[in-house]
Amino acid sequence: MVNLSTATADEKDKMKELINEIQSNLVAFDTNKGEYTLADQNGVDSLKRRMSEWMAKNTRASDFFPEIKSLQASLDGISDAGLKRVASEFENIKMQAADAGQMGLSFGDTLKKTFGGLARYLMTYASFYRIIGVIKQGINTVKEMDTALMEVRKVSGDSLKTLHEWQKTTFS
């Protein structure tokens, strides 16, 4: 610590300048606090997710993807003010894509999505008719067994009770 009573006038002036500089830096720090504080991780993750979802839903705008991916990469360890800037830039990119008519899925992605839906429909349709076929086959099997039992009854001349006993031992 310097004893100010023994300091020269130049040293006192220098000390006052340093104190003023420190105070102005503190004021600047308070004014630009957002530049120096890290952004909330939830906000960063939310913006990254929104960017990824937008790219997935707008594959026609693939010309803008490198720029968006660059913005996503810059989000690690970003300040509050930086996060707001990146969000604003992302909104600008979205507007540019809309102005260029590049919103929505590309033809290939639309085709892929449509064929996926068609495949699901066909699988459901085929499964339904397969179930109907199995039921018909079961009914036909029961009819054939009944017909065979009736023919055995006609040929054998046994009583119905005897045939039912024969049926139980044969089919169990």
Residue finishing a domain among 99, 118, 140? 99
User: Quick check: is 126 in a domain?
Assistant: yes
User: Quick check: is 129 in a domain?
Assistant: yes
Query: Could you report the per-residue pLDDT of 97-149, keeping only the tens digit for each?
Result: 878 776 766 666 667 777 777 778 878 888 888 888 899 998 998 888 888 87
CB 149 within 8 A of CB 167: yes
Q: Are residues 93 and 127 in the same domain?
A: no
Q: pLDDT tier at 161 (50, 70, 90 boundaries)?
A: confident
User: Quick check: is 3 in a domain?
Assistant: no
Query: Could you report the per-residue pLDDT of 22-81, keeping only the tens digit for each?
Result: 777 766 555 555 455 777 888 889 989 999 998 888 887 778 888 989 988 888 888 888
Q: Are residues 45 and 84 in the same domain?
A: yes
User: Quick check: is 2 in a domain?
Assistant: no
29, 92, 101, 141, 156 from 148: Cα distances, Å: 98, 80, 72, 10, 12
Q: Are residues 16 and 45 in the same domain?
A: no
Q: Are residues 162 and 112 in the same domain?
A: yes
Number of structural domains, the chain? Answer: 3
Q: Are residues 111 and 167 in the same domain?
A: yes
Q: What are phi and psi of 79, to 5 degrees?
A: -85, 170
User: Quick check: is 16 in a domain?
Assistant: yes
Look up the domain containing 87 and give its range: 41-99
Q: Are residues 32 and 63 in the same domain?
A: no
